[in-house]
Structure 1
Amino acid sequence: MSHARNDGPDRVAKSEIPEAPGAEVPGALDPAGAPAGEAVPPAVTKPPARKPGKMKPTRISGTWIAVVVAIVVLAFLLVFILQNLDTATVHFLGASGSMPLAVAMLFSAIAGAALVALIGGARILQLRKQARRRR
């Protein structure tokens, strides 16, 4: 483990040596160059230089990826609907009707997603209200 710190194989890292309480040397500097026991401000470092061929992803590129994924999902959904055109009788709240099985499943998935969105939206509004009260 000492090799990871660039210590020699026979050297012990300073962090592994136990120190006795009150063993600080007056006027000694810690590794950051500040007097021992004083807070050291974080070092200001510049960000690492980017490689010339590597670009940071943007929001637009993320949107394009989402659009492509949505098109693929819709294509699979269309194939599913076209393969499940058998008629099914649906009963809901006293009403009944018949429609293709895949369409009935699609409606139920949309209703479930809408219910989750309503509950999530209510929770977001609740959290925003709490955050305003704390200010």
Structure 2
Amino acid sequence: MTADAAPTAGSEPTPNTGNTKNKGQGVLKTRAGYAWVGLVIAALLGIVVLIFILQNLEQAHVTLFAWDWNLPIGVLVLLSVFAGALFTALVGGYRILQLRRATKKHG
């Protein structure tokens, strides 16, 4: 690649090695760095969820259709959040498919 050529769309950013006043400009930002930050945030959220469950161990009686069982309140709330997230993802995924079909039909 010549000095005048523009970088391609998939190329990684290069750090600024020039003499700058902003110290943060020389830091290279990569997908691996963002993934690491995401993993750290997920680990911290996991710790918070674990603490929530351990602090809410009182049993709650649950009946769903023909099933009956007892669960700790913390686990019950966590399962409810997962069920809500799954339902939201299914509805959102269906809507995305509708929009893709409409785009292909009209585009």
The TM tier, using the shorter chain, reads: 0.7 to 0.9
**4+ residue runs over 6 A deviation:** none
Question: How many residues matched?
Answer: 87
How far, CA to CA, are the matches of 2:27 and 2:102 in structure 1? 40
Give the stretch that moved more between structures: 71-80 or 51-60. Answer: 51-60
Note the alpha carbon deviations across 1:75-94, whole angstroms, 9 max, x for none.
01111111111111112234
Residue in 1 that maps onto 2:34: 62
Say whether 1:97 aligns with 2:85. Answer: no
How far apart in 2 are the matches of 1:69 and 1:117? 21
Deviations 1:43-102, CA, capped at 9 Å, x for gaps? xxx9xxx64252342111111111000000000111111111111111223432111111
Please tell me the residue identity of whatever aligns with 2:84.
G
C-alpha distance in 2 between matches for 1:58 and 1:127: 31
Q: Which amino acid aligns with 1:133?
A: K
What is the alpha-carbon distance in structure 1 between the residues aligned to residue 95 and residue 28 of structure 2?
A: 33
TM-score (norm 2): 0.73
Please, which runs of 5 or more residues in structure 2 have no aligned partner?
1-5, 7-14, 18-24
In structure 1, the partner of 2:98 is 126
Q: Which has the higher contact order (CA 8 A, sep 6+)?
A: 2
Query: TM-score, normalised on structure 1?
Result: 0.59
Gapped runs of 5+ residues in structure 1?
1-45
The structure whose Rg is larger is 1
Residue number in structure 2 paired with 1:117: 89
Cα displacement string for residues 79-128 of structure 1 (whole angstroms, at most 9, x for unaligned residues): 11111111111122343211111111111110000000000100111111
**Superposed counterparts of 1:66-81, under 5 Å:** 66-81=38-53
Say what the alpha-carbon RMSD is for the aligned residues: 1.8
